[in-house]
Chain A
Amino acid sequence: MTMHLLAKSDVPRFLSALSGRFEMYGPQVHPESGDVFFDLAADGSRIRLDAPIPVNSPKFAVFPHWERILSYAYDRENKEVKIIPEDLVRPKALVGVRACDLTGLLCFDRFFLGQEFVDEFYRAHRRKIFIVSVTCTAPFPQCFCVCTDSGPYAAEGYDVNLTDLGESYLLEPGSEAGRALAAELGLAEAGPDAARRRDEAVDRSISLFEAKAVENKAWISRAVNRLTTGFVKNETWEYIGKQCFECGACSFVCPSCSCFNIEDVNRQSGGTDRLRTWDSCSFEGYARMAGEHNPRRPVEDRRNKRFFCKLSYSQSKKYLRPGCVGCGRCVRVCPGDIGMTNVVTAIRRDITG
C-alpha cells in the first residue's frame, strides 16, 4: 500500500479525525505519578504517541476487566424467561499501540476467533476496533520483544502504523480503513527513501535492544526448549512457586493472558447480569471444584501453568507463536520477583533456591 507522511504538527488533526468516529484510547501520562496508562481519552488531545510503554496493556479494550455478556429476567410466577444479548459495544480506536501489545492482540484473535468455537463477546469488540500502532525506535528498560519476535516494528495487524522519522511520522496503512483515513486527510505520499529511513530506524532500535535483552536475561528460546521437553526440575518449580504471592498481577498486565471467570449477579432491581471478569491461574480457587476438591492445590502446581502457557510448544499452537510478547510488564509488577525473564533464568540455570 502507498505510504504517507504525517507531519508531527498534523498529529492533532489525525487524532481528531479518529475521535469523530471512535471512542479514543491511548497512552497518557498520569499528571501526579508520571506513570503512563493506556486509557480512555475523551478526545485525542491527551494521547502521547511518544510516551514510554504503558504500565497496562490495551487488551481491556477488547477484553474488559469485567463486562456484562448477557442479562436475563426470570418471572417464576408466570414461568417466563427473557434472555437479552449484550449489544452495547462501541467502536474504539486504539492509538499508539506498541508492536508487543499488537502481537498480544493477534494472539487473542487466534485464540478467541481461530479455534473450534468463536468467542462472540470478543468478536463483538474486535470487529469495531481501529488500531494505530507505533514503531519503537528505542527500547524501554523492561523490553525484550526482539527475543520473542514481536517488535519493535509491527509486521501485521494494524490499520495504520506510525514510525517516527524526526520531523514527521511515516504512516503505513495496513487495512482498507487505514488507507481511506490517509486519503481523507489528504496526506502527502512518502518519497522513495521513506522505506529505507524506516528500516534504518528499526535497525538502529534493534541494535539498542541487544544490550537490553542480555541485561534482561531473556534467553527465551532456551526456556521454550526446556519447557517443551519437560526438562525443568521440580525443585525449580517449587522455588518459583514459593516466590509467588498469588496476587494475579502478572496475568492482569499481560497482553496475552486471557483467562476469565463467569458469574451471574442478581440486580437489586430484579433481573440478572451474567458478568465475565479477568481471572488468573495463580489464584487458589482457579481449578477448585465442588466439595473442596482442588486438583491444583500446591502453588507451584498452579504457578508453572503460566509459564507452560506462555512458552511451551504445545501451548503456543493456540497462538501460532509463543504467548509471551516480551513486554516485560510481569517483570515490573511481580512482588515475588518471578516475572518472565527471572523464570527463564531459573529454568536455564536450574535455580532451586
Chain B
Amino acid sequence: MDMTRNAAAVSLPVPAEITQIREEIEDVKTFYFRFEDPELERSFPIRSGQFVMCTVFGAGEFAVSLPWSPEQDRRHLSVRSVGKVTSALHGLRVGDKIGIRGPFGNGFPFAELSGRNLIYVAGGIGLIPLRSSIVHALLHREDFGRIILLYGAKSSRELMYRPNIEEWRKRDGFETYVTIDRPEPGWDGETGFVHTLIEKANVPIENTTAFVCGPPVMFNAVIGELSRRGLKDDCIISTLERHMKCGIGKCQHCAIGRTLVCTDGPVYTYKQIKTLGETI
C-alpha cells in the first residue's frame, strides 16, 4: 500500500519496546517505551494534550493520552486496567513490544496562554492528560503568571505521579495543593473534595485559564465553583474521552453532537463543551 502524510504512524502501528514499568497506583501502571525505528525515536513531535492509539499485540488498540512533555521527559503512557486491551497491556513485561499510532488530536492552546495564570485542577487519573502541560508550563515558567496545581483523590493510595508532585512542590513559582477525600492515618495534608482547594489556594480569576480533568462528579463541582467565582466558560479547558476506534475521524464512534473528539478534540473549552448538543 502506498501512503500519504506520514502515513506509517497514522494507519499502521509502529513497534515500540517497553523499557520500564512503574506501578503508579492500584490498577494504574506507567509504561516507558522506545521506538524500534531510530528515526522515530529521535523525533516524534507531539503537542501536549494529544493522544496516541496504542496496540497491545493479540488484544487490540485503545486511545491513551501523552503524559510526557514535548521537549523533555522520557516517553511513557499511564494506563488504568479497565477491560480487554488495557488489562492485556498490564500483563506485559519490560522488553515486550507494543504498537503506536499517532500522535492525534488538537492539544492545549499554549499559543493563547502566554502571560496568563494557569490553574490545573485534577481528580484521580485526570492528572494523566494534564501532566504534559504542567511539565511544559514549568519549562517555560517565565511565560506565565501564577501556576497552581489542585489535585485530589479518594485516598493517598490513589494519588498519581507522587514522585513528580514531590518534585514540583519544591519548585519556586509552582503552588501545589493536594487533598484526599477523608482523613487517613499518616496523612497530614489537606482533606476534602478538590473543589474546596479553590478557596484555599485563593485562585485568581482575572487573566486565568483553568485546566480541569477528572470524573464527572468532580468535574461538575469544580466547574460550579470556578464559575461562581466568575471564571468565564472559555477560560476553562478540559479533555474529553469517548469510545474511539480509528483516531483519525473516520469510525465516528467518538462523535459528541457535531464534534469528533479524535480530530476536533480531545481538548475543549467549557464554552465549547456546553454547546456540543449532547451530554458528556
Contact = CB atoms under 8 A, between A and B. Distances in A.
A259 B15 contact: no
B5 A286 contact: no
Dominant secondary structure of chain B at its interface with chain A: loop
Contact of A287 (B55, B95, B253): B253
B173 to A, nearest CB: 37
A116 B263 contact: yes
Contacts of B250: 111-112, 117, 119, 122, 258, 260
Contacts of B95: 79
Nearest to A294: B243
B258 A259 contact: no
A120 B278 CA distance: 30
A264 B249 contact: no
A124 B243 contact: no
A195 interface: no
Contact of B241 (A74, A87, A260, A289): A289
Contact of A115 (B249, B255, B257): B249
A69 B86 CA distance: 22
A116 B10 CA distance: 12
Contacts of A74: 57-58, 97
B75 interface: no
B258 A314 contact: yes
A295 B57 contact: no
Interface in A70-84: 70, 72, 74, 76, 79-81, 83
B253 A259 contact: yes
A85 interface: yes
A115 B253 CA distance: 16
Contacts of A85: 1, 11-12
B223 interface: no
A144 to B, nearest CB: 25
A166 interface: no
Interface in B228-264: 241-243, 245-246, 248-253, 255-258, 263
Interface residues of A, number: 51
A115 B263 contact: yes
A42 interface: no
Contacts of B251: 259-262, 279
A90 interface: no
Contact of B242 (A262, A274, A279, A287): A287
A119 B280 contact: no
A282 interface: no
B61 A262 contact: yes
Contacts of B15: 81, 83
A259 B83 contact: no
Contacts of B221: none
Interface in A105-139: 111-112, 115-124
Contacts of B243: 286-289
Give the bracket for the number of chain B residues in contact with chain A: 35 or more
Contacts of A312: 258
Contacts of A288: 243
B252 A259 contact: yes
A117 B10 contact: yes
Given A117-B5, A272-B58, A287-B242, A81 B279 contact: no
B1 A120 contact: yes
A234 interface: no
Contact of A286 (B83, B248, B253, B258): B253
26 contacts: A69-B11, A79-B97, A83-B14, A85-B11, A85-B12, A86-B1, A118-B7, A119-B250, A120-B1, A120-B4, A120-B11, A121-B11, A124-B1, A258-B250, A258-B252, A260-B251, A261-B245, A262-B60, A262-B245, A264-B61, A281-B252, A287-B253, A289-B242, A290-B83, A295-B278, A296-B278
Given A115-B249, A296-B278, 19 more contacts: A70-B12, A74-B58, A80-B97, A81-B15, A81-B97, A85-B12, A87-B1, A112-B250, A118-B7, A120-B7, A121-B11, A261-B251, A262-B246, A262-B251, A264-B58, A286-B243, A287-B243, A289-B241, A291-B83
Interface of A: 69-70, 72, 74, 76, 79-81, 83, 85-87, 111-112, 115-124, 230, 258-264, 266, 272, 274, 279, 281, 286-291, 295-296, 301, 305, 308, 312, 314-315
